[in-house]
Structure formats: structure tokens, C-alpha cells
Amino acid sequence: MLEFEPGLMIWTVVSFGLLVLLLYKAALPPILALLAQREKMIADSIELTMKNEKRSEELAAEYREKLNQINQKADRMIDESKKDGEKLKNEILERAEKQAELIALRASQDIARERDKIFAEVRRSTAELVALAAGKVLRKTISPADNRRLIEESLTQARP
């Protein structure tokens, strides 16, 4: 059973006190130094992490700004390309219209020349027929000079 022994209790308290004093003097300073060092290391890590986070945010902001600038530049280039394409299209259309007008003018001139040739041929043929008919009516031959003069007079009178 348990018995109360005052001597044992005193020596236990004294031993415990000496152990606490010994630990306080010998073990506590290195433990506190380790804790202080660990606390400083954690604080430094937190500070470094905060700096890195701030730097990351700054870099992200810079990259977003650069990306916006690149997008704006790309938009400007696209707009310029569209304008250049539109300008080139208009130039090509203008040239095509000019060529079409030139071709139409040439065709019109060619048609006018052919019409004049046909009218000249018809006049010549008509004049010859008129001369032949006049010769048969008059029953005499007409000289080529007289023939020409009569034709010219007939054509002049026939024109409005």
C-alpha cells in the first residue's frame, strides 16, 4: 500500500527542482535559440514569398500590358491590311473599268470604220448602178470623169 514518506518526497522535490534548474541553465538557451532561428527563418520565408508574389503580380501586369499592346498592334495591322486590300481592289476595278472603256471605244471606232467602209462600198456600187442605168436610159456611154461627177452630184443631192 501506499505510505507517505516525507524524506522521499523532499528528495523528489529537490531532484525535480535541480533538474528544472539544470534544464533552464543548460538546455533552454539552445532550445530558445533554435526556436528564434526557426521563427526568423519562417518570417524570412514569408517575407520572400510576399516579395515573390508582389513581383509575380507586377510581371503579370507587365505581360498583360504587353499582350494588350501586341493585340492593339495586330488590330492596327489588320486594319491597315484591310485598307490596303480595299485600295488595291479599287485600283484594280478602276483599271478594269478604264480598259473596258478603252475596249468599248476601240470597238466603237472599229464599228464606225466598218460602217463607213460599207457605206462607201454601197455608194460606189450604187453610183456604178446609177451610171449603168443612166447609160442605158440615155443610150450612150458616159466617161469615167462624167460618171464620177454625176455620182458626186447625186450623192450631194441625196444627203439631207
User: Is the distance from CB of 78 to CB of 85 less than 8 angstroms?
Assistant: no
Q: Compute and round to an integer the Cα radius of gyration of the chain.
A: 61
Q: Is the pLDDT of residue 95 over 90?
A: yes
Distance of CA 59 to the CA centre of its chain: 29
Q: State residue 139's pLDDT score.
A: 59
- Give the tens place of pLDDT for each residue, 44-89: 999 999 999 999 999 999 999 999 999 999 999 999 999 999 999 9
Q: State residue 121's pLDDT score.
A: 84
- Give the tens place of pLDDT for each residue, 101-151: 999 999 999 999 998 888 888 877 777 776 667 666 665 666 777 777 777
Q: State residue 141's pLDDT score.
A: 65
- Give the tens place of pLDDT for each residue, 14-37: 999 999 999 889 988 999 999 999
Q: Within a 10 A sphere around the Cβ of 42, how many other Cβ atoms? A: 10
Beta strands in the chain (DSSP E): none
Q: How far apart are alpha carbons 145 and 142 in whole angstroms?
A: 8
